[in-house]
Structure 1
Amino acid sequence: MKKIPLILLPGTLCDDTMWEFQLNKLKKIADCKVISLQRDSIEEMAKDVLEQAPDRFALAGFSMGGNVAIEVVKQAPKRVLKLALMDINPNPPRLEQIEGWKKFIGMAREGNFSSITPHYLLPNMVSPNAEDQISSTIIKMAEHIGKDTMIKQMTALINRPDGRKTLREVECPTLLLTGEEDALCTTDMHKEMNKHLSHSELVIIKSSGHMTTLEQPEAVYSALHNWLLNK
C-alpha cells in the first residue's frame, strides 16, 4: 500500500515530542513529517509549511498548528488531501488572550521565560488527573523551543486571522478532535466548527485536557489512523 504523505504541525511551545507516540504507529501507513513553526505570523508559518510539504498531502495541526493548517488550506486548498484540526480555536483572539500573550512576551524579554510554562500555561493545558510525566514533558518541550521562538509564536497568535470563513469553504475530509476537558479550545468550539464543515467527523477524547496527544495517545492515534484510511 502506498503511504500517504502526512504533515504534522505542533502547538505553541511544542516540538516533535508531542507527536512521538502517534509518529511511531502512523509510520506504517503514512510518510510523516513534523514541521516546526518559527515565524511571527500565521500566514508566514503557512508559507513555510507549503515550501516544505510535498505537492499533495494530509495535514494535521494541533492548537496553534491548527490555525496554521487552516491558513495552509486557504493559501493552497487543492494541495491538502485531508485535514485534521486538533484542540484548536479558529476564532480571532479575544482581548484578554492578547493581553496574556503580551504579558508573557514581556516576561520572556525580562528574563523570566522559564517560569511561564510551569506557573502560567501548564494549569490550563492538562486535565487535573494527568500524570506528572506529561507535565514534565510539556516543560521540557517549552525549554527546547526557547524564548525567541515563543515570542514569535505568541506574536503570531496576537495577530491570528479569523479562520471561520476558510473553514466554511473546506472541501476535503476533515477530522475535528478535542479533549473532553480541554479548557483552552473547548468541545463547544469544535461542535460549532463541525456544523459548518461539509465533510467532517468530530471526535471527543475522554479523560483528556488540551494536550490530547500526550494525555490519551492511543485514542488520538486511533482517530488519526481512521481519518487517514477513510475514503
Structure 2
Amino acid sequence: MARAMISATGRPVDRGDAGKGGFRLDDWSQHLRGSAARRQRRPNFSGLWRNAGHGMMPAATLAGRAAITTAVLLPGNMCDARLWSGGGSMVAAVLAARGFGAAHAGMLDQSTIADMAAAVLARVPGRLLPIGFSMGGIVALEMTRQAPERIAGLVLVDTNAGADLPERSAVRPVQQARVRAGALPTIVADELKPTYLAAANRGDTALKDLLFDMAMGLGDDVFCAQSEALRTRADLGPVLDGFADPVLFAVGAEDALCPPDWHAAMAARCARATLRVIDGAGHMLPLERPHELAAAIGRWLDDIGEMP
C-alpha cells in the first residue's frame, strides 16, 4: 500500500548512492556463489528494446514524434531494462494507458553522470518525462540540469540528489580494483545487493537471481564506469530548488540506502512535489512492488492532468 507523506523538515543527509553496503546475508551469498558457476551469461537487455503491447519502442522510432512527451526509463546501478519488467511491465502499461510513448534509456556505461545524461538526451528526442531509479534518478536530475526546456516532469524512485560522501568516495576505487581482479560476483553478493530488499523479500530467490544476473550481464567495465560516475557526481539538489514542473518521489518504506526521510526532504525543495512511501519494499521498489509503483505513477499522472 502506498502512503503519502504529508510534510517533512530538514534536508537529506547524504550517505551516498545505492551501491554502498557492508551488510551480509550469508545465505544469499552462498546461494549466489553456488549458482554463479552454473549460470551462463544472460543476454544484455540494457539497450533500447520494443514491447508493442506496453508501448515500449526504441528511441530511433521516436524521431518523428518529438512533440510527444516520452517517458524514458532510467535504470539504477548495475541494473538493465529488466528492472522495469516487474508485474508484467506494469509501469509501461500504466504509461501506455495514458497515451505516453516510453523508451528505455539504453546502456549507462559512461564514467560520469553528465555523460550518461547527455547520452540519453541524444538518444531520445523531444519532450521527456524521465522516470529514474536510484542512479537513474541522479541521471534524470542531470538531464534536467542540462536541458530543462525538454523536461515535462520527473519521477524519482529510491534515489539521492546529493554528492557522494567522502567515505564512499574512498571505497569505490578499492571496489573497482577488486572488480578488475575478478571479484565482481563477490562484491555483488556480499556488499551491494544484500542491502537492497525489504525483510519479507530477502527469501525471494528469483528476485535475488535477477539482481545478480543483471549485474553479471553488465560486467566489470560497466561496474567500474558507474562506480566512478557515482564517486565524482555533483550535488544536484539545486536542480530541485529551481524545478517548477511536477515531481513524483516514490520510495520503499524499508529502503535503507535512500530512506523515506531523504525523499521527504527532497520533496520539500520542489515547487510541485508528491511523495509516495510504499510498504513492503526496500530499495528495489520497481521489482519488489511493481503494481504499487505503477499505481502511484498512474494516480500522479491523473492528478496533475496534462503534462506542462
Q: TM (normalized to structure 1)?
A: 0.95
Q: Return 3-12 or 161-170, whichever deviates more.
A: 3-12
Deviation at 1:26, TM superposition (A): 3.2
1:145-188 per-position Cα deviation (integer Å, ceiling 9, x unaligned): 11101110000000011011111001111001111110110111
Aligned to 2:71: 6
Partner of 1:195: 268
Question: Structure 1 residue 110 and structure 2 residue 181: aligned?
Answer: yes
Cross-structure match for 2:103: 33
The Cα offsets for residues 95-123 of structure 1, whole Å up to 9 and x where unpaired, read as 22113322221111111112211121112
8 A contact 1:127–1:208 mirrored in 2:
yes
Letter of the aligned partner of 1:111 in structure 2?
G
Equivalent residue letter for 2:122: E
The residue that corresponds to 1:71 in the other structure is: 142
d(CA) in 2 for partners of 1:3 and 1:133?
Answer: 36
Contact 2:75–2:136 at 8 Å: present in 1 too? Answer: yes
1:50 to 100, 104, 121: 121
Map of 1:146 onto structure 2: 219
Conserved 8 A contact 2:70-2:126: no
Letter in structure 2 aligned against 1:122: K
- Give 1 or 2 for the bigger CA radius of gyration: 2
Give 2:168's aligned amino acid: Q
2:199 aligned counterpart, secondary structure: coil
Q: How much does 1:227 deviate?
A: 2.8
How far apart are the structure 2 equivalents of 1:126 and 1:174?
25
Aligned residue pairs total: 230
Q: CA deviation at 1:60?
A: 0.7
Q: Is the 8 A contact 1:178 1:210 kept in 2?
A: yes
Q: Name the CA distance, whole Å, in 2 between partners of 1:129 and 1:170.
A: 36
Query: Does the 8 Å contact 2:155/2:248 carry over to 1?
Result: yes
After superposition, the CA RMSD in angstroms is 1.5
2:159 alignment partner AA: I
Map of 2:191 onto structure 1: 120
Q: Which amino acid aligns with 1:28?
A: A
Aligned twin of 1:98: 169
- Higher helix share goes to which structure? 1
Secondary structure in 1 aligned to 2:274? strand
In structure 2, list runs of 5 or more residues that go unmatched: 1-66
Write the letter of the residue equivalent to 1:192. A
List runs of 5+ in structure 1 lacking aligned partners.
none
Q: Output the CA distance in 1 between the equivalents of 2:71 and 2:208.
A: 27
Report the Cα distance in structure 2 between the residues aligned to 1:128 and 1:106, rounded to whole angstroms: 31
Q: CA deviation at 1:4?
A: 4.2
Identity %: 31
- Is the Cα–Cα contact under 8 Å of residues 82 and 228 in structure 1 kept in the other structure? no
Q: Which has the higher strand share?
A: 1
Q: Please say if residues 78 and 223 of structure 2, whose CA atoms lie closer than 8 Å, have aligned partners that are also in contact.
A: yes
How far apart, in 1, do the equivalents of 2:265 and 2:246 lie? 17
Aligned partner of 1:133 in structure 2 is 206
Match of 1:134, as an amino acid?
Answer: L
